[in-house]
């Protein structure tokens, strides 16, 4: 018996009909708990490494760069593994479990190599679990409300990300300097998250128990006609999506308020994202996911233009944060919502993974390019150049994605 009943509203029409499935809420809860856990550690990691372990931030920067490629690879592997066995839940459990174990391993890890290994294990867990989890969300949701379902999940996820640093702060206030306490409490949050996942999230099968989705089938679907255009469009847009760290750096170069409150900029974007994830999801369900996805990049375009202005101010900085929130709300959950409708249920995890990997890799390449451009031309010119290309890319993507959903 499952606590979750896949609620499919009788008519399935209209954004207000029916509710988001309990499975989505449960997965959101799992993500919330896991994000409290991971953001607790992430928020103190720079301080822990530099203050308690004695690594210099140079080494920390290296640490942060370690996992990029491997994580992208594992994302695909996770999506495929979920499809192949037809049991995405258990792949997700492995991913969440790996992250949970990495918390408690921080207690024992003191050297540079050990901490690198532990941090990498955490990122790998994240890479592994994302696609199968999103496949579960898609499987559990009414196709007409996918945008909203992903919006609800991302909002819960972001609440966790906002709570994590708060919990870490309270702990460090109560037991000063005890990073071990942070790791232990973080582990506790992660374990409860895994328990909710294991005990309550239904093992929704995406294939018949006997059937195994082969690699060839997955390749055919992912490379197939229906997914090809969205993947190329997402990749094209990703190539012009500058990491938000660069935008924050651009803001703080010309605005003293942004410089002093640099760490708060992430919080600002998160709050905007949190508030807008569900409305954007609903908007996507109503007016088309591809449309909202492309329009979201308009908000990013506005960020570039505002960031390139010669002088700033608190109002402008706030506007950029809000627009970044709009951008993430219109893309992060909407992309899997779009993709999961374009592939059959049996290859959904792989399809979502492929789209997310394309975006991650394209954004990675974009950040590298932008970094070089920044060095040669400075932030303003670089942002304007990227803005110009983004205008073109938005046009091309809109053209490529026209009727993407009607193709079903």
Partner 1 sequence: MSLRNRVAVLVTVLIVAVAGAGAYVWNVRRDQARTVAAAPPVPPGADLATVRAEPHLVFRSTALGAGYGKVAVVPLTAPDGPRTLTPASCERVYATAADAICLSAERGLVTTYQARLLDPSWAPVRDLPLTGIPSRARLSRDGTLAATTTFVFGDSYANPGQFSTRTVVTRVDGEVVGDIEKFTLTVDGRVVTSVDKNLWGVTFLDGDRFYATAASGARTWLVEGSLSARAVTALHDDVECPSLSPDRTRVAFKKHGDLPAGRWRLAVYDLRTGAETLLAETRSIDDQVEWLDDRTVVYGLPRETAGTASSDVWRVSADGTGRPQLLIHDAWSPAVVRGEEGS
- Residue among 133 and 282 whose Cβ is closer to partner 1: 133
- Residue among 198 and 391 whose Cβ is closer to partner 1: 198
CB 59 within 8 A of CB 237: no
Q: Smallest distance from the beta carbon of 46 to partner 1, in angstroms?
A: 6
Residue 24 CA to residue 139 CA, distance in Å, equals 10
Residue 202 CA to residue 135 CA, distance in Å, equals 13
CB 34 within 8 A of CB 160: yes
Q: Smallest distance from the beta carbon of 177 to partner 1, in angstroms?
A: 3
Residue 180, both tokens: 């071990």
Selection from 65, 271, 105 nearest residue 187 by Cα: 105
Kindly list the distances between the CA atom of residue 269 and the CA atoms of 75, 227, 318, 325, in Å, as whole numbers in the listed order: 25, 30, 9, 5
CB 40 within 8 A of CB 163: no
- Residue among 134 and 244 whose Cβ is closer to partner 1: 244
Could you give the 3-state DSSP secondary structure of residue 55? coil
Residue 398, both tokens: 């809109």
Q: Smallest distance from the beta carbon of 244 to partner 1, in angstroms?
A: 5
Residue 202, both tokens: 């239904």
Q: Smallest distance from the beta carbon of 83 to partner 1, in angstroms?
A: 24
Q: Smallest distance from the beta carbon of 357 to partner 1, in angstroms?
A: 12
- Residue among 7 and 253 whose Cβ is closer to partner 1: 253
**Residues near 386 by Cβ (< 8 Å), separated by ≥ 6?**
240, 242, 304, 370, 373
Q: Smallest distance from the beta carbon of 226 to partner 1, in angstroms?
A: 26
- Residue among 116 and 207 whose Cβ is closer to partner 1: 116
Q: Smallest distance from the beta carbon of 113 to partner 1, in angstroms?
A: 7
- Residue among 247 and 343 whose Cβ is closer to partner 1: 247
Selection from 148, 145, 141 nearest residue 280 by Cα: 148
Kindly provide the residue ranges of all beta strands, DSSP E only, lying in 33-91, ordered along the sequence. Answer: none
Residue 233, both tokens: 């469009």
- Residue among 84 and 187 whose Cβ is closer to partner 1: 187
Could you give the 3-state DSSP secondary structure of residue 196? helix
- Residue among 90 and 112 whose Cβ is closer to partner 1: 112
Dihedral over Cα of 205, 206, 210, 213: its sign: negative
Q: Smallest distance from the beta carbon of 211 to partner 1, in angstroms?
A: 26
């Amino acid at each position: 018996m499952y606590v979750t009943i896949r609620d499919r509203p009788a008519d399935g029409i209209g954004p207000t009909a029916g509710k988001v499935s309990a499975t989505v809420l449960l997965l959101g809860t799992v993500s919330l708990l896991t994000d409290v856990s991971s953001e607790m550690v992430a928020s103190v990691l720079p301080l822990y490494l530099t203050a308690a372990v004695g690594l210099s931030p140079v080494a920390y920067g290296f640490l942060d760069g370690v996992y990029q490629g491997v994580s992208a690879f594992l994302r695909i592997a996770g999506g495929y593994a979920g499809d192949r066995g037809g049991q995405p839940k258990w792949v997700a459990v492995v991913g969440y479990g790996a992250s949970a174990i990495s918390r408690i391993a921080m207690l024992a890890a003191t050297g540079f190599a050990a901490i690198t290994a532990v941090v990498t294990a955490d990122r790998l867990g994240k890479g592994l679990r994302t696609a199968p989890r999103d496949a579960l969300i898609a499987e559990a949701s009414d196709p007409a409300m996918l945008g909203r379902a992903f919006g609800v999940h991302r909002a819960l996820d972001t609440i966790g990300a906002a709570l994590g640093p708060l919990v870490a702060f309270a702990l460090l206030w109560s037991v000063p300097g005890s990073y071990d306490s942070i790791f232990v409490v973080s582990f506790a949050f992660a374990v409860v998250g895994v328990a909710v996942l294991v005990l309550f999230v239904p093992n929704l099968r995406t294939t018949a128990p006997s059937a195994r989705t082969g690699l060839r089938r997955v390749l055919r679907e992912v490379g197939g006609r229906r997914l090809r255009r969205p993947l190329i469009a997402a990749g094209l847009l990703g190539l012009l999506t500058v990491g938000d760290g660069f935008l924050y750096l651009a803001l703080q170069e010309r605005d003293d308020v942004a410089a002093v409150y640099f760490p708060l900029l992430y919080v600002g974007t998160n709050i905007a994202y949190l508030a807008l994830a569900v409305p954007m999801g609903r908007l996507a369900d109503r007016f088309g996911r591809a449309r909202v996805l492309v329009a979201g990049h308009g908000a990013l375009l506005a960020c570039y233009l505002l960031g390139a202005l010669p002088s700033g101010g608190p109002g402008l900085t706030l506007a950029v944060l809000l627009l970044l929130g709009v951008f993430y709300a219109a893309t992060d959950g909407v992309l899997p919502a779009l993709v999961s409708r374009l592939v059959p249920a049996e290859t959904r995890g792989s399809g979502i993974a492929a789209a997310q990997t394309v975006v991650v890799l394209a954004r990675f390449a974009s950040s590298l390019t932008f970094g070089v451009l920044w060095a040669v031309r400075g932030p303003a010119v670089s942002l304007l150049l990227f803005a110009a290309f983004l205008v073109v890319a938005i046009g091309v993507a809109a053209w490529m994605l026209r009727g993407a959903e009607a193709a079903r």
